[in-house]
Amino acid sequence: MKILVTGAAGFIGFHITKSLLEMGYSVVCIDNFNSYYSTKLKKDRVAELRKINSGDLEFLEGDLVDAKFIKGVFRNDTFSTVLHLAAQAGVRYSISNPMAYIDSNVVGFMNILEEVRQYKIAHFMYASSSSVYGMNEKQPFETLDKVDSPVSFYAATKRSNELFAHTYSHLYQIPTTALRFFTVYGPYGRPDMAYYKFTNAILNKEKIQIFNEGNMMRDFTYISDVVDAVISLMVKFPKLKQQQHSNTNAPFRIFNIGNNTPIRLLDFITEIEDALEAKADIDLLPMQQGDVIETYANIDDLVSEIGKSPNVSIKQGIEKFVAWYKNYNL
């Protein structure tokens, strides 16, 4: 039996696939290599995956919106688990390009989910986001919190994924696990993410724009901690009456994948400055549309389920990212 990973040329998908291959799994990967950010970086990630000899890798280029293509993927192989990590990313981009998110994050999600139902996949895991917490003010965010006030189209599509997955889980008893990722960072990260932009700007002596006067708080989560959590959960199949939410008995669970330690954005930049041994030229700006002031994950459920906590500090994570950045870009 194989594992299907969608979005495997993406940041999180690449790292999870890499770990699965190193563990000896057979993995079928899907990605469409869209141009939202550097396709070269995506292809370089895939080139790294092809260097791994322990597991079996098959990489397919195609679009989630193409139902015929997706049907062919499921028809040609038997999968024990589907890790659906492909999506149109980016909060701010969703405000100016909402239809891109409907296509990939809604239509594409449903194409995958319908094949999961058709082929009775043992465990369906998918990427959600901390952005679903939207206007919530109570901290830290808990999976039992109401999530009906999204502030971006991206967040709305991610919440819709959770609702669709729950419905399928309820109707067809499909074990499903939602992964609410909190500001993931690390080597081979996305160039549109703030930490990547900050590093590039500092090295090039360019001004950095910081919104909300620098008073944003983020639960920065290093990529190896994310990979560890996801792979640990892969073998933890949701069961009936196990779900945290008392109003359902579907085999459906939601986990916050975070660090449980929010960091002020200006302090995060200081860590980058220290790793680079250079100072940032900072321009403090007002809050930007679609952003939230703070993300802070309660991960008690996750720690209880997998028996481990995140162990990479901000200092360690930034040093690892900067070392990779210099090697890759300079």
Q: Minimal CA–CA distance to 127: which of 144, 145, 108, 142?
A: 108
pLDDT by residue (tens digit) across 71-103? 999 999 999 999 999 998 877 777 778 888 999
Q: Structural domain of residue 148, as residue ranges?
A: 2-188+220-259+297-310
Q: What are phi and psi of 119, to 5 degrees?
A: -100, 10
- Whether residue 287 lies inside any domain: the answer is no
The pLDDT of residue 215: 79
pLDDT by residue (tens digit) across 102-136? 999 999 999 999 999 999 999 999 999 999 998 88
> How many angstroms separate the CA atoms of 238 and 206, rounded?
48
Whether the predicted pLDDT of 64 surpasses 80: yes
| Mean predicted confidence (pLDDT) in 257-283 | 93
Position 282, amino acid: I
- Whether residue 319 lies inside any domain: the answer is no
CATH of the domain at 78: 3.40.50.720
Question: Alpha carbon of 192 to those of 3, 44, 69, 198, 323: distances in Å?
Answer: 28, 17, 29, 10, 19
Question: Alpha carbon of 59 to those of 54, 141, 300: distances in Å?
Answer: 16, 36, 35
- Whether residue 87 lies inside any domain: the answer is yes
Residue 234 pairs in a beta bridge with none
Which one is catalytic: 154, 168, 195, 296?
154
Calculate what percentage of the chain has a pLDDT beyond 70.
97
- Whether residue 97 lies inside any domain: the answer is yes
Q: Minimal CA–CA distance to 102: which of 148, 156, 147?
A: 156
Could you confirm whether 154 is annotated as catalytic?
Answer: yes
Cα angle 304, 306, 312 (rounded to 5 degrees) comes to 100
- Whether residue 269 lies inside any domain: the answer is no
245 pLDDT tier (thresholds 50, 70, 90):
low
| Mean predicted confidence (pLDDT) in 12-41 | 96
Q: Tally the domains of the chain.
A: 1
Per DSSP, the three-state class of 184 is strand
- Whether residue 267 lies inside any domain: the answer is no
> How many angstroms separate the CA atoms of 30 and 187, rounded?
21
The pLDDT of residue 2: 96
Q: Minimal CA–CA distance to 158: which of 175, 138, 181?
A: 181
- Whether residue 277 lies inside any domain: the answer is no
**H-helix segments, the chain:** 11-22, 39-50, 67-76, 91-96, 98-101, 108-118, 153-172, 194-203, 223-234, 265-276, 300-306, 314-329
- Whether residue 14 lies inside any domain: the answer is yes
pTM of the model: 0.94
Whether the predicted pLDDT of 248 surpasses 80: no
> How many angstroms separate the CA atoms of 301 and 81, rounded?
22
Cβ atoms 268, 317 nearer than 8 A? no
The pLDDT of residue 284: 84
> How many angstroms separate the CA atoms of 178 and 257, rounded?
10
Lateral strand order in the sheet of 176-181: 56-61, 26-31, 2-6, 79-84, 123-129, 176-181, 252-257
Residue 218 pairs in a beta bridge with 263
